[in-house]
Structure 1
Amino acid sequence: MDRQRVAQTAGSIAAVQEDDGGVPWPEGHVDAWNHVECLMAMSVAGLAEPVRRGYDWLVRTQRADGSWPMKLVGGRAVEHGGESNHAAYVAVGVWHELLVTGDEGFAREMWPVVRSALDFTVGLQTTRGEIVWERAADGRAASYALLTGCASIHQGLRCGVLLGEHLGDPQPDWELAADQLGHVLAAHPEAFADKSRFSMDWYYPILGGALRGPAAHARLAEEWDTFVEPGLGIRCVSDQPWVTGAETCELVLALDALGDRDRAEKLFTDMQHLRHEDGSYWTGWQFVNEKWFPHERSAYTAAAVVLAADALYGLTPASGLFRDAGAYATDRPTAACGCSHARSPG
């Protein structure tokens, strides 16, 4: 995928950005996670003005507790709970922007936003180490954690630690939280709600950096035939004949992070049937009915394509962002997690 095609795809994201800087889903709402993903993709293509408008949107819409409303329409909250993984992903975006542009001033301006967001996220961590998925509008923490969300949070915490060290404001509590979370992701599936029919729960511990090496390769092998449709991409869910572009490109990033370039490039090529002539991408393809499903082209799908292209072809200094997510992964069980080798002797 050459730079011209990448630029066209990033341009399709900029085309749907709203006047206030938010990048919406096709149905019209904005959430912080997908919004950040779209900003990262536009940054890969050098679209500086819409990217900075997007970060201004994050500054304006962040709440006092560090979170963002789950859904906003026209800048106004329509679902008021705050998701832990939405907040954490802002650290990934700001670190990515610093890597791409080298703009120290931007990073320092965004640091209070990142710090507040990750403090909100860590405030939802359990004693065992998983991080529950939401704090409701009334302040109550959710009763369970989501594996995909926690895997993304792991990357957010690692990026936040790197950003803090770079700016001279280290955050050892985040590093400890990431270590504990990484162990739970790698060793304690019982800590998470069962969403195993979703392909994201399969590859996200690798994408977010919690799993590397033989364990990661074994995890991919275990469900490869369940989710991968040769020539098309990967299924969103195991029980529906539906491949989706964003999930396929995230698996491309996970494979690239493991050094599995051949399968990464093959999958990336396979999913190009979702490309529209204007550079945007259909969200998915129902391959039994042979119809686009849903009948929409989503900015977050285009964003995942651009980030996968950067990882595969080294378009920016941030091309290793997802490979590097696992560079600091450690398996550090604590007594609270229940592992026998973590308990104190005697």
Structure 2
Amino acid sequence: MNIDTIVLRFVKIPLHRPFSNRWERFEEWTKLIVEVQSEGRSGYGECTAMETPYYNYETIETCWLVIQRYLAPILLDRTIDCPNQVADFFSHIRGHYEARAALECACWDLYGRIQGVPLYQLIGGEFRPVKSGATIGVHQSKEELIGELQQALEDGYHRFKIKIKRGWDVEPLETIRAAFPDIGLLADANGAYSPSDISYLASFDRFNLMCLEQPFPPRTLYETAKLQAQMTTPIALDEAVVSLEDVRQIIELKVARIVNLKIGRVGGISEALRIHDACKEAGIPIFIGAKYEMGIGRWTNIALATLDNVTYPSDVSASNRYFRQEIVNDAVELVAPGMVQPMEQPGFGSTICWENLNQYMTQEAVIRR
């Protein structure tokens, strides 16, 4: 297939409820949606970059610029026989993984639609329900925290990720464990702590966590390995996993026992599959992470969650946990308590709800040969 047109769109949609991480509070979420066209057919990818450079140096604006100025001209000049080639086309671009992933995912979707094959099947997954977890942000009170957690429990989610930071860690974890001693609980620090906190974090074993996610900033593998050696709680790495080479170092140094795999963070589906296979061979289980994806990215994540080494509940919960409306015609819904499953239609499975996308679109650019 030959890509003849690429369309970039910013889409801003109100959240179902405000969400806070360790850096900021959101009441709406903006995503960069990428469309690739070939002979009248379209495929779509959702850029996972955020508006701010706190989680990662990339933002939706830097991704827009890099795609428009550098990546799009490369893609518009190539013939694509298989989406695996796209990552190789961009191999001389340093960094900018989320920008690269958005285009690569759109090419996977387009290829699946042309071939009439669903994404989960293209990447070696299977049509099956997968366990979903709920993510709960930083709250202003313990009462708000317990209220949101109770609702997620009633929806049947299989794991509950709590965002933590200095000043919001021990107290909320103690509160949750007092109210719900047996639920699957994950504490996600997003790199909020420093290596000087090793003894402090090791004491979190008392909370019986499924795992402690990304306690230190990304480039602290040796320090994270020291913490893991002192904890019975498994450490999961997120921001530290950008490539297959990172995973090889994690395995060799015994840094962590679980990997949070995000398609955007590692540059696309092809690299995600390589990381999945390396973790499987090393006996390291995976869950699929997310960054408040809308429907395109959410269905893509669900397809990846059907791979056989994704054994922990993933961040693939129902759309209505997060957004008031969707930009696809098939919102992600629970097929059983806490369970979702991929679409059987070609590509990521659903189609664009143009009424909603146009309503919430704030900017558009069309790039042609």
TM class by shorter chain equals under 0.3
TM-score normalised to structure 2 length: 0.26
Higher relative contact order (CA 8 A, sep 6+): 2
Greater per-residue strand proportion: 2
TM score, norm. by length of structure 1: 0.27
Structure with more of its chain in helix, by fraction: 1
